[in-house]
């Protein structure tokens, strides 16, 4: 039987390298072909998992403990599908976005390819050291993409991002070193029973270091300070990739560590702490989003807030009945997918508005409703998911989380979610209201190529349809 | 106190020093050096803790080699960015006003 697992990593590596060698002129077609292939591979892998359960692939035929094992279960399949689904329309978008900027494209394709290769490898990793390596590769590629725009602002943001990422992965690696010192293994499958059997205090220290490092990389409040300048200052296709996917990779690892590896030593108090940080992120991020005067900074702070919802998963799924935990878990994963699709669409739509109006300020988009109805429609659709209105994927996710909060009697999270929803409605309508104002006479709208509008609409539609077809995603999760 | 513990404690001390430098030192070159000290500390913990009864374990040695390669790549990228910043702003430090604070645009 053909195994898609190694090809999901090799394909982006191959096209990234070829795109680098060929230069910007030829580079565009390769990523499109490569991503279509990867989407098919991810779908095929998902099918195999639904049919036959967890899949393991031994690299080079060696296998653990001597070689490296790759592993794919339902959660990995969901993340892989999300990654390729978000990246494919963005590739079409990027081709139009960077048209005429050969110098940016020269580095955009290879870095994007390496970013996707690192991300796919991360979702398929089965040992904590391999995860470290993929995490670093992902971080380095992402920093390169942030620096792509050049200029003092983006380079400063890239430098801050790099330092935060290095600190995060350093803490993670020290945790790995301590784990290896205690158990003599880095394989997740081997460590899980060992930790369940006996966990000395140093394992708790390792867990704290690893989780802290990953929280820094996920930009959970109060570690979010590096995120808005990095995501807000990068070119729009890069912001979309970073906000939709890259932070989700480290969140995926937190999920893996919390619910698989360190499950025996997690405590309700620690879960409540994570939830409290998430709640603070929702309120503070939404409040700051509301105060922004620049479009991309508003969307970047909205990401800070939406990350908060992901962390509500921990108090709602720790120390509660199995049924409530399952509902919270599904809600959390659905939020990952819904936010990924919607935020990619939102950043790309905002990027298109900025190209058309030539201005980044919110005050500059008056008249967008009349001149760019499709892009504004896309922004609003993505906004429906961010606000959590039915029938979007964001609604389904928040509904499941609310249900879990109610069933476990943790009403304070309900308050946070409702206030957060209202605040997000406020900052999205702030943009919409401005867009519906009459066109200023001095405004000079550029005509947009179709490729800057239609692929983005598809992403926003996907985030909406997810609310109706989210069951498919959840059944894939159940296939573990 | 056995040898493994001495290595692990030294490594931890280096890690803490590195983290402190990375956060507190304003000069970018010092930050990058601090990151490398932090990395050395981690590698020392990794190799030091993993000796079983005096015989070294080959697996962490291989992991540390990989870690060194990653650290060199990260250092190179950091130096390239620092160089660009120096060319553009004339300073080897991150601009002050935004650090540690959220931007409150009004």
pLDDT digits (tens, 9 = 90+) for A335-356: 999 999 999 999 999 999 999 9
Q: Which chain A residues touch B38 with a CB distance below 8 Å?
A: 167, 170
Q: How confident is the model at residue B106 (pLDDT cuts 50, 70, 90)?
A: very low
Q: Do B94 and A159 touch (CB under 8 A)?
A: yes
What does the pLDDT average to over A263-278?
A: 94
- pLDDT at res. B57: 82
pLDDT at residue A154 tops 70: yes
Residues of B numbered 25-84 whose beta carbons fall under 8 angstroms of chain A's beta carbons: which are they?
28, 31, 35, 38-39, 41-42, 45-46, 49-50, 52, 57, 59-60, 63, 66-67, 70, 73-74, 77-78, 81-82, 84
What does the pLDDT average to over A392-418?
A: 92
This prediction's pTM: 0.94
pLDDT at residue B63 tops 70: yes
What does the pLDDT average to over A393-414?
A: 92
The Cβ-side half-sphere exposure at A39, using a 13 Å CA radius, reads 14
Q: How confident is the model at residue A100 (pLDDT cuts 50, 70, 90)?
A: confident
Decide if A379 contacts A364 (C-beta within 8 A). Answer: no
Q: How confident is the model at residue A28 (pLDDT cuts 50, 70, 90)?
A: confident
Helices A74-97 and A29-52 meet at what angle, rounded to 10?
Answer: 170
- pLDDT at res. B100: 44
| Ordered domains of chain B (ranges, CATH) | 3-89 (1.10.287.3510)
pLDDT at residue B103 tops 60: no
The residue among A257 and A366 whose pLDDT is bigger is A257
pLDDT digits (tens, 9 = 90+) for B64-84: 999 999 999 999 999 999 999
Query: How many helical (H) and strand (E) elements, i.e. helices and strands, does chain B have?
Result: 3, 0
Decide if A104 contacts A148 (C-beta within 8 A). Answer: yes
- pLDDT at res. A313: 93
- pLDDT at res. A53: 86
d(CA A281, CA A95): 34
Question: What count of other Cβ atoms lies within 10 Å of the Cβ of residue A52?
Answer: 10
pLDDT digits (tens, 9 = 90+) for A275-298: 999 999 999 999 999 999 999 999
What does the pLDDT average to over A436-443?
A: 78
pLDDT at residue A19 tops 70: yes
- Residues of A engaging B, defined by a Cβ cutoff of 8 Å: 65, 129, 132-133, 136-137, 140, 143-144, 147, 151-152, 155-156, 158-160, 162-163, 166-167, 170, 173-174, 176-178, 180-181, 184, 186, 225, 228-229, 284, 288, 291-294, 297
Q: Does B92 contact chain A (CB < 8 Å)?
A: no
Q: Which chain A residues touch B98 with a CB distance below 8 Å?
A: 229
Q: Which chain A residues touch B41 with a CB distance below 8 Å?
A: 174
What does the pLDDT average to over A10-27?
A: 86
d(CA A422, CA A428): 10
Residue A219, SS3 per DSSP: coil
d(CA A308, CA A417): 10
- pLDDT at res. B1: 60
Name, of A257-266, A433-442, B13-22, the range with top average pLDDT.
Answer: B13-22
Q: What percent of chain A has pLDDT over 70?
A: 97
What does the pLDDT average to over A183-204?
A: 91
pLDDT at residue A152 tops 50: yes
Q: Do B74 and A136 touch (CB under 8 A)?
A: yes
DSSP-assigned letter for residue B52:
B
pLDDT digits (tens, 9 = 90+) for A118-127: 999 999 999 9
Beta-carbon contacts of residue B101 (< 8 Å; ≥ 6 apart): A225
DSSP-assigned letter for residue B93:
B
Q: Which chain A residues touch B99 with a CB distance below 8 Å?
A: 160, 225
Find tokens 């580079």 and name the residue.
A27
Measured in whole angstroms, how far is the alpha carbon of residue A95 from the centre of its chain? 22
- pLDDT at res. A93: 95
Q: How confident is the model at residue A2 (pLDDT cuts 50, 70, 90)?
A: confident
Q: What percent of chain A has pLDDT over 90?
A: 71
What does the pLDDT average to over A213-227?
A: 94
Angle (nearest 5°) at CA A402 between A390 and A295? 55
Q: Which among A144, A180, A225 has the least Cβ separation from residue B46?
A: A180
Helices A152-183 and A201-218 meet at what angle, rounded to 10?
Answer: 160
Q: Could you give the ipTM of this predicted complex?
A: 0.92
Q: Which chain B residues touch A130 with a CB distance below 8 Å?
A: none
Q: How confident is the model at residue A26 (pLDDT cuts 50, 70, 90)?
A: low
- pLDDT at res. A480: 45
pLDDT at residue A222 tops 60: yes
Q: How confident is the model at residue B97 (pLDDT cuts 50, 70, 90)?
A: low
Nearest to A27 by CA among A107, A89, A90: A107
């Amino acid at each position: 039987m053909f195994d898609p697992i190694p090809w999901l990593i090799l394909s982006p590596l191959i096209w990234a390298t070829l795109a680098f060698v060929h230069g910007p002129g030829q580079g565009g077609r390769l990523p499109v072909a490569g991503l279509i292939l990867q989407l098919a591979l991810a779908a095929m892998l998902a099918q195999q998992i639904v049919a036959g359960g967890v899949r393991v692939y031994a690299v080079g035929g060696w296998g653990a403990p001597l070689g490296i094992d790759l592993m794919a279960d339902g959660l990995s399949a969901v993340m892989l599908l999300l990654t390729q689904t978000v990246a494919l329309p963005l590739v079409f978008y990027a081709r139009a976005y960077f048209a005429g900027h050969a110098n940016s494209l020269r580095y955009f394709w290879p870095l994007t390819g390496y970013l996707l290769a690192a991300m796919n490898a991360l979702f398929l990793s089965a040992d904590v050291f391999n995860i470290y390596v993929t995490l670093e590769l992902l971080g380095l590629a992402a920093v390169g993409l942030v620096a792509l725009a050049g200029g003092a602002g983006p380079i400063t943001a890239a430098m801050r991002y790099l330092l935060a990422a290095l600190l995060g992965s350093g803490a993670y690696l020290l945790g790995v070193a301590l784990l290896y010192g205690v158990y003599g293994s880095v394989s997740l499958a081997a460590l899980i029973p060992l930790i369940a059997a006996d966990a000395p205090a140093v394992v708790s220290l390792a867990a704290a270091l690893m989780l802290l490092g990953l929280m820094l990389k996920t930009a959970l409040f109060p570690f979010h300070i590096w995120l808005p300048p990095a995501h807000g200052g990068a070119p729009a296709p890069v912001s979309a990739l970073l906000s939709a996917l890259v932070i989700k990779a480290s969140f995926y690892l937190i999920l893996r560590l919390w619910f698989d590896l360190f499950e025996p030593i997690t405590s309700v108090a620690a879960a409540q702490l994570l939830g409290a940080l998430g709640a603070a992120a929702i309120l503070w991020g939404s409040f700051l989003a509301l105060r922004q005067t620049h479009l991309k900074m508003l969307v970047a702070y909205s990401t800070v807030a939406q990350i908060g919802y992901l962390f509500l998963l921990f108090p709602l799924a720790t120390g509660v009945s199995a049924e409530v935990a399952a509902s919270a878990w599904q809600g959390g994963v659905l939020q990952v997918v819904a936010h990924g699709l919607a935020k990619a669409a939102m950043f790309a739509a905002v990027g298109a508005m900025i190209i058309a109006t030539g201005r980044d300020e919110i005050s500059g988009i008056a008249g967008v409703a009349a001149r760019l109805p499709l892009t504004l429609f896309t922004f609003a659709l993505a906004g429906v998911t961010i606000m959590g209105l039915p029938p979007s994927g964001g609604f389904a996710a928040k509904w499941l989380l609310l249900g879990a909060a109610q069933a476990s009697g943790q009403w304070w999270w309900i308050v946070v979610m409702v206030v957060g929803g209202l605040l997000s409605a406020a900052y999205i309508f702030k943009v919409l209201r401005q867009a519906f104002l009459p066109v200023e006479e001095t405004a000079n709208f550029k005509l947009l190529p179709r490729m800057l509008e239609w692929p983005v609409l598809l992403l926003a539609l996907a985030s909406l349809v997810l609310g109706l077809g989210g069951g498919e995603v959840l059944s894939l999760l159940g296939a573990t | 106190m056995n040898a493994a513990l001495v290595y692990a404690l030294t490594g931890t001390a280096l890690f803490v020093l590195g983290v402190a430098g990375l956060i507190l030192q304003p000069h970018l070159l010092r930050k990058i050096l601090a990151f490398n000290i932090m990395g050395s500390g981690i590698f020392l913990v990794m190799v030091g803790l993993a000796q079983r009864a005096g015989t070294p374990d080959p697996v962490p040695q291989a992991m540390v080699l990989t870690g060194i390669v990653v650290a060199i790549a990260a250092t190179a990228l950091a130096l390239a960015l620092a160089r660009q910043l120096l060319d553009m702003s004339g300073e080897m430090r991150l601009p002050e006003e935004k650090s540690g604070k959220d931007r409150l645009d009004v």
